[in-house]
Structure 1
Amino acid sequence: MFNPKLHAWLERYFYQPGYFEIVISTLLLPFSLIYYCLVWVKFKLAKPVKFSIPIISVGNLILGGSGKTPLTKAIFNEFSNKYKIFIILRGYKRESKGMQIVALNGVIKCDVATSGDEAMEYAISLKNANVIVSNDRKIAIDKAISLGANLVILDDGFGKADIYKLNILLHPAKEPRLNFTIPSGVYRYPKSFYNLADITLKSSDIIKENSIIKPTDKMVLVSGIANPSRLSFIYDRCVGYEHFGDHHKFSKFECESILKKYNADSLLVTQKDYVKIKDFGLKLSILELKTTILPNLIDKIDMFIKSYQISDRIYSNSQKGDLC
């Protein structure tokens, strides 16, 4: 259950700590050190497996959102006219187990309970989307290859150190004040791990544009995302707002009650929340975030893909030569 007071305190603890929060963070440092060591050993001992097709990972180092989904969409849209791309992700808080094909060539293969909200957002919002959810990314990559993929994007794949990939890491829009790993800070991977990335991006490296689909005069903002304070820029266009925990499972009664409480014409929701609410038969306004990647990033990704293809051909030819 989402607790507004607890969430506000955690925001302060991670990003604007006072004396009390700093004391707690200091007391928790031994646990952070243990966590740090475990993560460091995991990366140090990992032996990356190189697949027959290039893999791109879009990730971040902190808890919560940093814009991975919009960036993944932008990369998909930029390169989908050249490659058959599969997006692979864990499918956090889905009600299914194992590997699930969410979308294939734009055809949706399951419901949002099976896929999870983020995977269904990709499936619905991207043209000719190919989406797989799986806790085991290697199995999912093999499946994607068998279905004709020649490029894979891993959503939140940085931690999969046993997979050879192009690592893109996003800096958060608001940098944490304390640079510790959890629980003393908000970093789930040490901040020094930015040095392990092939590409790091800050907010200034990405062009973001917000728009509202089907706006009304009296919209009430409803969200179930990480760091809902990111939506504060839209508050003045709404008659009110209600925030719930990340990946919250909404009910029709809950949404109807919010509309009645604020006497609103429509619910203003993110695309991530839209996929869970769209079948309730309620009037919805959708907050759409479009991300445009700059030519410099496009060139770096394109170079990785082409160099990967060249090295793979060289390897294949050398193998054939060994058989002669």
Structure 2
Amino acid sequence: MSGKCKIYWGLWPFSVLFGIGVRVRNLLFDVGWLHEERFPLPVICIGNLTVGGTGKTPHTEYLIRLLQNSFRLAVLSRGYKRKSKGFVLASSTSRMEDIGDEPYQMARKFPAIHVAVDGDRCRGIRQLTSPQGAPDTEVILLDDAFQHRYVRPGLRILLMDYHRPVECDQLLPAGRLREPASGKKRADLLIVTKCPPTLSLEECERIRQRIQLLPHQEVFFTTLAYGKLYPLFMDAPTQPLDVLKDKEVLLVTGIASPAPLMEEVGRHAARITPLLFGDHHNFDGADMQQIAQQFHKLPETRRLILTTEKDASRLIGHPQLCEELKPYIYVLPIEVEFLHKGELVFNPKIIEYVRKNSRNSCLSEG
């Protein structure tokens, strides 16, 4: 893997203390003192060892596309930064504030699936599969739940950023690890994300050797793929990125790792003006004013606002977004593609697991 991990060594003593707590907690689960609950339907966990930026949402959406036409699918997320509490099952009237930006994004994009949020994933699964929830659910995708060990998923998928190898990282707060790198032993399938599209088979093999896979594990490699632009507020056809060649773009985004997005847009646009916010940033009135001010500085006949689907979920219903700007706001979808035809192995593994573990009953085994 590539890249160097920025470590805040002054915070390392706090990482030691954090590590003690995490290791003790994992040990209690490993020896059975803390109970992992199994559920009699396919449960797939998608997560990582680090905080933010590995591409969980695009990979979750990949699984949705893979499974939604054959199985009744549900996504269960924590609903980070939502204003509601407890279990919430998304509906056509749900607001972003009710379920969080990423669940809201998935609920809008995939209206045929169930999307729910609950910080307590065991309770969330029980509620989701109850008669009052979505009892027709056949498969559950647990979004960002690798450390939520009270649920014992049938299949664990671990995402690792190509540019930030976990082997060179440190625990929070000095680094970005939520738990020691040895936690990858719990994964069934590992995916190295955000790889260069030209990553060679030789480099893939070197990464395999570095990861030190266990006998039951397999590793895959994916890269980011950008789709066609579409207007956020207007009903108009999608357009290729090439339409940006004569445009001056105000790039408005609050995601964990904006650098690849800036690089991609920069390759196509005449000029970009980045307006960057923190991950999951809740836009306020001052932000709306700043966006408008930056937009009006651009040439009137060549300007355009570009954002991600995740950011769009926080903009689309914002009461203080200037009406004048809405026709100029476009969204750039982000998807993933497997390298070296890895999907020919990955896809059948997912489908085989779901088919072998499907059951009619959705009652917890305890």
Q: Do Structure 1 and Structure 2 share a fold, with TM-score over 0.5? A: yes
Aligned-pair distance for 1:53? 1.1
For the 8 Å contact 1:89–1:119, the answer to whether it is kept is yes
Structure 2 residue aligned with 1:297: 346
Summarize the alignment of residues 70-85 of structure 1 with structure 2, pairs less than 5 Å apart.
70-85=58-73
Matched, 1:211 2:249: no
Within the candidate set 175, 189, 195, 1:199 is matched to: 189
Match of 2:103 in 1: 119
Is residue 303 of structure 2 the alignment partner of residue 265 of structure 1? yes
Identify the residue that residue 233 of structure 2 maps to in structure 1. Answer: none
Counterpart for residue 140 of structure 1: 124
Give the C-alpha shift of residue 220 in structure 1: 0.9
Q: Report the Cα distance in structure 1 between the residues aligned to 2:255 and 2:87, rounded to whole angstroms.
A: 24
Q: 1:46 to 1:301 in 2, by over 3 A?
A: farther
Cα 1:297–1:278 shift into 2, 3 Å: same
- The amino acid of 1:226's aligned partner reads A
Specify the alignment match of 2:282 in structure 1. Answer: 249
* Counterpart amino acid of residue 221 in structure 1: L
| Distance in 1 (alpha carbons) for counterparts of 2:186 and 2:77 | 21
Secondary structure of the residue that 1:276 maps to in structure 2?
helix
Structure 1: where are the runs of 5+ without partners?
1-11, 317-324
Q: CA deviation at 1:134?
A: 1.0
- Deviation of 1:235 after TM superposition, in Å, equals 4.9
User: Displacement, 1:29?
Assistant: 4.6
In structure 2, relative to structure 1, the CA distance for the partners of 1:32 and 1:80 (3 Å cut) is same
SS in 2 for 1:202: strand
**1:113-142 per-position Cα deviation (integer Å, ceiling 9, x unaligned):** 111111111011224131101111122212
Query: In 2 relative to 1, CA 208–33 (structure 1 residues): closer, same or farther, beyond 3 Å?
Result: closer
Task: Tell me: CA distance 1:144–1:292, structure 2 relative to 1, closer, same or farther (3 Å).
Answer: farther
Q: Could you tell me which amino acid in structure 1 is paired with residue 296 of structure 2?
A: K
Deviation at residue 102 of structure 1 after TM alignment: 1.5
**Cα contact 1:70–1:290 (8 A) shared by 2:** yes
**CA distance change for structure 1 residues 60 and 126 in 2, over 3 Å: closer, same or farther?**
same
Cross-structure match for 1:102: 90
Equivalent position amino acid for 1:278 in 2: I
Q: Report the Cα distance in structure 2 between the residues aligned to 1:35 and 1:262, rounded to whole angstroms.
A: 51
Partner of 2:333: 288
**CA 1:258 to 1:114, structure 2 compared with 1: closer, same or farther past 3 Å?**
farther
Contact 2:12 2:173 in 1 (8 A): no
Residue 91 of structure 1 contacts residue 134 of structure 1 at CA under 8 Å; is this kept in 2?
yes
Deviation at 1:260, TM superposition (A): 2.1
Q: Which residue of 2 aligns with 1:319?
A: none
The alignment's TM-score, normalised by the length of structure 1, stands at: 0.82
Deviation at 1:27, TM superposition (A): 4.2
Q: Is the 8 A contact 1:101 1:109 kept in 2?
A: no
Give the C-alpha shift of residue 207 in structure 1. Answer: 4.8
Q: Deviations over 1:289-312 (max 9, x none)?
A: 122451211122122222223xx5
| Distance in 1, Cα, partners of 2:229 & 2:102 | 19
Could you say which residue in structure 2 is the equivalent of 1:189?
A: 179
Deviation at 1:42, TM superposition (A): 4.9
Distance 1:278 1:31, change over 3 A: same
- Over the aligned positions, Cα root-mean-square deviation in angstroms equals 2.5
Deviations 1:126-159, CA, capped at 9 Å, x for gaps: 2413110111112221232231100000100111
Alpha-carbon distance, 1:210 to partner: 0.8
Whole-Å separation in 2 of the counterparts to 1:155 and 1:83: 18
Q: Which amino acid aligns with 1:171?
A: M
> How many residues in Structure 1 have an aligned counterpart in Structure 2?
292
1:170 deviates by: 0.5
Q: Which whole-Å CA distance do the structure 2 matches of 1:249 and 1:179 have between them?
A: 29
Q: 1:168 aligns with which of 144, 151, 157?
A: 157
Query: Secondary structure of 1:143's partner?
Result: helix
Structure 2: tracts of 5 or more residues without a match: 196-220, 231-242
Structure 2 CA distance for aligned equivalents of residues 246 and 29 of structure 1: 22
TM-score by length of structure 2 reads 0.73
Higher helix share: 1
User: How is 1:38-53 mapped onto 2 (pairs within 5 angstroms)?
Assistant: 38-44=24-30, 45-53=33-41
